[in-house]
Structure 1
Amino acid sequence: MSMVSGEGDNWWHSMADKSMDNIELKVLVNNVSNKVIFVESDDDFIDVLFSFLTVPMGTVIRLSHRSQPLGIGCMDNIYGSVESFDSQLFRTEECRAMLLRPRNMTEYLLDNLKLKFDDCEPTRYFTCSNPHCRIFRNSLVFSYYQTVRCPRCERLMDTETILPVSGAEDGEVFVKGPARFIISDDLQVMPPFTSTSSSLVKNLGFTGWNSIEELTVNVGVDEVLKLLMCSLVSKMPLTETLLKHEPLPELSNENFDQEIYVESRMLGDATNEEEEKISIKLIVSKSRKMVCYAEAGEEFVNLLFSFLTLPLGFIVKQMHENSMKGCIDQLYKSVQDLDEQCLKSNNHKKMLVSPKLLPGFGYKNHPLGIEEASYRLAVDTTLMHSNKQVKSVEFIDPKSHRNKDDNALGFLKGPAMFMITDSLNVSPISAILGLSILCELNVPVTDIEVQVAQVGKKEALRLLVASFVCDSALTSVFLRKPNRGFGCLSFLI
Structure 2
Amino acid sequence: MATKNKVSLKLLIDKRSNRVLFAEAGKDFVDFLFTLLSLPVGTVIRLLKKPAMVGCIGNLYESLENLNEAYMQPNQSKDLLLKPTVPLTQLAHVPLLLPGTRPLKTEAGRKLYGCSYSGNHRCVTDQRGSPCSNCKNSMTYELPFIGTNTNNKSASNTATSNSEGGFVKGLVTYMVTDDLSVSPLSMISGVALLNKFSVKGFGALKEKMVEFGIDEPLIVFLWQGVELLKASLQSKTALTNISFTSRMATENKVSLKLLIDKKANKVLFAEAGKDFVDFLFTLLSLPVGTVIRLLKQPAMVGCIGNLYESLENLNEAYIQPNQSKDSLLKPTVPLTQLAHVPLLLPDTLPLKPEAGRKLYGCSKYSNHRCVTDQRGSPCSDCHYSMNYELTFIGTNTNNTSASNTATSSSEGGVVKGLVTYMVTDDLSVSPLSMISGVALLNKFSVMGFGALKEKMVEFGIDEGVELLKASLQSKTALTSVFLAKDEIKDAAAPN
TM range (shorter): 0.7 to 0.9
Give the 3-state SS of the residue equivalent to 1:368 in structure 2.
coil
Whether 2:115 is the aligned partner of 1:126: answer no
Q: State the percentage of identical aligned residues.
A: 28
Corresponding residue for 2:187? 194
Match of 1:292 among 239, 260, 268: 268
Structure 2 distance, partners of 1:309, 1:328, is: 18
Whether 2:209 is the aligned partner of 1:232: answer no
Whether 2:51 is the aligned partner of 1:69: answer yes
Structure 2 distance, partners of 1:447, 1:324, is: 35
Match of 2:214 among 212, 221, 231: 221
Whether 2:440 is the aligned partner of 1:437: answer yes
Kindly indicate whether the alpha-carbon contact (under 8 Å) linking 1:39 and 1:182 is maintained by their aligned counterparts in 2: yes
Deviation at 1:156, TM superposition (A): 6.1
Corresponding residue for 1:419? 422
Match of 2:283 among 295, 303, 307: 307
Corresponding residue for 1:339? 315
Residue by residue over 1:128-170, the C-alpha shift from the partner in whole angstroms, topping out at 9 and shown as x without a partner, is 597546776x422335xxxx5454665866x472245576755
Deviates most, 474-483 or 177-186 = 474-483
Structure 2 distance, partners of 1:229, 1:110, is: 22
Corresponding residue for 2:169? 176
Give the 3-state SS of the residue equivalent to 1:25 in structure 2.
strand
Deviation at 1:194, TM superposition (A): 1.4
Residue by residue over 1:466-493, the C-alpha shift from the partner in whole angstroms, topping out at 9 and shown as x without a partner, is 111111100000003369x99xxxxxxx
Whether 2:343 is the aligned partner of 1:366: answer yes
Structure 1 distance, partners of 2:159, 2:337, is: 22
Match of 1:117 among 98, 104, 129: 98
Deviation at 1:72, TM superposition (A): 3.2
Kindly indicate whether the alpha-carbon contact (under 8 Å) linking 1:19 and 1:220 is maintained by their aligned counterparts in 2: no
Per the alignment, do residues 160 and 63 of structure 1 end up closer, same or farther by CA in structure 2, a change over 3 Å counting? Answer: farther
Q: What is the one-letter code of the residue matched to 1:201?
A: L
Structure-to-structure mapping, 1:36-51, within 5 angstroms? 36-51=20-35
Deviation at 1:241, TM superposition (A): 1.3
Whether 2:43 is the aligned partner of 1:59: answer yes
Residue by residue over 1:402-436, the C-alpha shift from the partner in whole angstroms, topping out at 9 and shown as x without a partner, is 55785564111112210000000001011221111
Structure 1 distance, partners of 2:470, 2:120, is: 44
Kindly indicate whether the alpha-carbon contact (under 8 Å) linking 2:337 and 2:413 is maintained by their aligned counterparts in 1: no
Corresponding residue for 1:161? 144
Q: Which structure is higher in RCO with an 8 Å CA cutoff and minimum separation 6?
A: 1
Per the alignment, do residues 44 and 134 of structure 1 end up closer, same or farther by CA in structure 2, a change over 3 Å counting? Answer: farther
Residue by residue over 1:337-362, the C-alpha shift from the partner in whole angstroms, topping out at 9 and shown as x without a partner, is 22222223696211222222125154
Give the 3-state SS of the residue equivalent to 1:225 in structure 2.
helix
Structure 2, unaligned runs of 5 or more = 150-157, 216-223, 370-386, 491-495
Kindly indicate whether the alpha-carbon contact (under 8 Å) linking 1:87 and 1:93 is maintained by their aligned counterparts in 2: no
Per the alignment, do residues 93 and 130 of structure 1 end up closer, same or farther by CA in structure 2, a change over 3 Å counting? Answer: closer
Corresponding residue for 1:261? none
Kindly indicate whether the alpha-carbon contact (under 8 Å) linking 2:397 and 2:407 is maintained by their aligned counterparts in 1: no
Q: What is the one-letter code of the residue matched to 2:307?
A: L
Q: What is the one-letter code of the residue matched to 1:438?
A: L
Kindly indicate whether the alpha-carbon contact (under 8 Å) linking 1:42 and 1:180 is maintained by their aligned counterparts in 2: yes
Per the alignment, do residues 204 and 482 of structure 1 end up closer, same or farther by CA in structure 2, a change over 3 Å counting? Answer: farther
Give the 3-state SS of the residue equivalent to 1:109 in structure 2.
coil
Structure 1 distance, partners of 2:316, 2:391, is: 28
Residue by residue over 1:182-234, the C-alpha shift from the partner in whole angstroms, topping out at 9 and shown as x without a partner, is 01000011121112111212222313222101111121122122111110011
Corresponding residue for 1:185? 178
Max Rg structure: 2
Structure 1, unaligned runs of 5 or more = 1-17, 246-272, 487-493
Match of 1:278 among 254, 279, 303: 254
Give the 3-state SS of the residue equivalent to 1:318 in structure 2.
helix
- Count of matched residue pairs: 434
Per the alignment, do residues 188 and 397 of structure 1 end up closer, same or farther by CA in structure 2, a change over 3 Å counting? Answer: farther
Structure 1 distance, partners of 2:74, 2:159, is: 32
Per the alignment, do residues 360 and 35 of structure 1 end up closer, same or farther by CA in structure 2, a change over 3 Å counting? Answer: same
Structure 2 distance, partners of 1:150, 1:203, is: 60
Structure 2 distance, partners of 1:171, 1:397, is: 39
Kindly indicate whether the alpha-carbon contact (under 8 Å) linking 1:340 and 1:346 is maintained by their aligned counterparts in 2: no
Corresponding residue for 2:376? none
Q: What is the one-letter code of the residue matched to 2:344?
A: P
Corresponding residue for 1:464? 468
Per the alignment, do residues 183 and 321 of structure 1 end up closer, same or farther by CA in structure 2, a change over 3 Å counting? Answer: same
Structure 2 distance, partners of 1:461, 1:382, is: 48
Per the alignment, do residues 133 and 240 of structure 1 end up closer, same or farther by CA in structure 2, a change over 3 Å counting? Answer: farther
Structure 2 distance, partners of 1:398, 1:62, is: 29
Corresponding residue for 1:455? 459
Structure 2 distance, partners of 1:134, 1:103, is: 29
Structure-to-structure mapping, 1:15-54, within 5 angstroms? 21-54=5-38
Structure 2 distance, partners of 1:135, 1:424, is: 49
* TM-score of the aligned structures, taking structure 2 as reference length: 0.79
Give the 3-state SS of the residue equivalent to 2:326 in structure 1.
helix
Per the alignment, do residues 432 and 337 of structure 1 end up closer, same or farther by CA in structure 2, a change over 3 Å counting? Answer: same
Structure 2 distance, partners of 1:164, 1:395, is: 20
Deviates most, 379-388 or 193-202 = 379-388
Per the alignment, do residues 398 and 215 of structure 1 end up closer, same or farther by CA in structure 2, a change over 3 Å counting? Answer: farther
Deviation at 1:20, TM superposition (A): 6.3
Kindly indicate whether the alpha-carbon contact (under 8 Å) linking 1:125 and 1:160 is maintained by their aligned counterparts in 2: no
